[in-house]
Amino acid sequence: MAIAIVLSPLVPNPRPNPNPRSLPLTSHIGASDTQRKWRIGAASAAPGVDLKALEAAIEKKDSDAVKETLNQLSKLGWAKKWSSQPYVSRRMTSLRELTTLGIKNAENLAIPSVRNDAAFLFTVVGTTGFLGVIAGQLPGDWGFFVPYLLGSISLIVLAIGSISPGLLQAAIGGFSSFFPDYQERIARHEAAHFLVAYLIGLPILGYSLDIGKEHVNLVDERLQELIYSGQLDDKELDRLAVVSMAGLAAEGLKYDKVVGQSADLFTLQRFINRSKPQLSKEQQQSLTRWAVLFACSLLKNNAATHEALMSAMSKKASVLECIQAIENAA
């Protein structure tokens, strides 16, 4: 049975899933009005090429059938970008190379961002404090009890964070949507995972940009067997590392600070822990830097395709329509 490998939710400090066999967040994206407007018939999108087999394979979540169909479409001259970068091989990489390629603040890529957390807590404390000062002007006992109750809100928030961090993280995630760059960050981040996986030859069978459920589902039965058995070899680890670091790389190329790196790094670490032979700490650091560098190179060389895919995903296009956006991009 195929179990989706969930890549990179874009949250500041995601909680790791203790059970790697029950990876969550497989969502169904319905055919909304936006999707119907976006949908392009197979005949018009690819003259002489029938995409119905690919669409059926995607709907069945059959990764082997998706790969086989895309390979056939590639031979027919349509899926030219599918698996166009199948060979990846790590090498020693320095921070200077990342900076030269365009990564902003390369030395801070692995440091989790606290922007959203700090903004949320500052807003809660600041708002309740301000209201408490005003409420203190109320007559009689109201001037005592109301500020006291308002002040307790901050303590309640901290208590929730200690007892049930997931609830606090959900609140912070919702609050983060008020940042003007948040939706674009999500689209850029998840589109990078989707595109890099497609270029390397790993099928994507689902995705979501919904707040709190941001993910891309990479499904490959053979890779999953290797992951669960702890037998990932260097070749497969390199491919998964590049896909894992793609979201971080996309943010690093665009923004001064990366927000969604924690989940990406956790995903990569999980792959490293299930590889043979085991890597030393120095080798793990080198692998991470190289994967970011390789992903950056792919994204820069396919910038127009990345933007087209971002646009499609932002409109909640289906996986097939996202693939069409990749192949039809200038």
Q: Tens digit of pLDDT for each residue in 16-28?
A: 444 433 333 233 3
pLDDT of 227 reads 86
Which helix (DSSP H) or strand (DSSP E) does residue 7 occupy? strand 5-7
The answer to whether 247 touches 225, Cβ cutoff 8 Å, is no
Domain boundaries, the chain: 49-54+62-112+180-328, 115-176
pLDDT of 215 reads 78
Rounding to the nearest 10 degrees, give the CA dihedral for residues 153, 158, 160, 163: -150
pLDDT of 264 reads 87
- 49-54+62-112+180-328 adopts what CATH topology? Methane Monooxygenase Hydroxylase; Chain G, domain 1 (1.20.58)
CA 176 to chain centre: 16
pLDDT above 70: percentage of residues in the chain? 73
pLDDT greater than 60 at residue 286: yes
Segment among 3-12, 179-188, 311-320 with least mean pLDDT: 3-12
pLDDT of 166 reads 57
Helix axes 182-200, 281-301, angle to 10 degrees: 100
Q: What does pLDDT average to over the chain?
A: 78
pLDDT tens digits, 150-176: 777 777 767 776 676 656 566 556 645
CA 159 to chain centre: 29
Write the DSSP assignment of 161-227 as a string of letters.
Answer: HHH-HHHHHHHHHHHHTTSTTHHHHHHHHHHHHHHHHHHHT--EEEEE-STT--EEEE--HHHHHHH
Question: Which amino acid does the sequence have at 261?
Answer: Q
CA atoms within 13 A on the CB side of 293: 22
User: Which positions ≥6 away from 96 have C-beta within 8 Å?
Assistant: none
pLDDT of 20 reads 39
pLDDT greater than 70 at residue 48: no
The answer to whether 14 touches 169, Cβ cutoff 8 Å, is yes
Long-range CB contacts for residues 39-46, cutoff 8 Å, separation at least 24: 39/318, 39/321, 40/321, 40/324, 45/324, 45/328, 46/78, 46/324, 46/327
For 22, 38, 103, 213, 244, the CA distances from 6, given in Å and listed in that order, are 10, 26, 25, 10, 10
Q: Rounded mean pLDDT of 184-211? A: 90
pTM summary value: 0.73
For residue 135, the SS3 value is: helix
Nearest Cα residue to 97 out of 243, 240, 226, 252: 252
Q: Rounded mean pLDDT of 101-121? A: 71
Q: Rounded mean pLDDT of 36-48? A: 45
pLDDT of 226 reads 84
The answer to whether 207 touches 215, Cβ cutoff 8 Å, is yes
Which helix (DSSP H) or strand (DSSP E) does residue 27 occupy? none
What is the rounded distance in angstroms from the CA atom of residue 268 to the CA atom of residue 287? Answer: 10
Phi, psi of 272, rounded to the nearest 5 degrees: -60, -40
pLDDT of 161 reads 65
Phi, psi of 217, rounded to the nearest 5 degrees: -95, 110
Phi, psi of 74, rounded to the nearest 5 degrees: -65, -40
What is the rounded distance in angstroms from the CA atom of residue 157 to the CA atom of residue 170? Answer: 12
Which is higher by pLDDT, 195 or 114?
Answer: 195
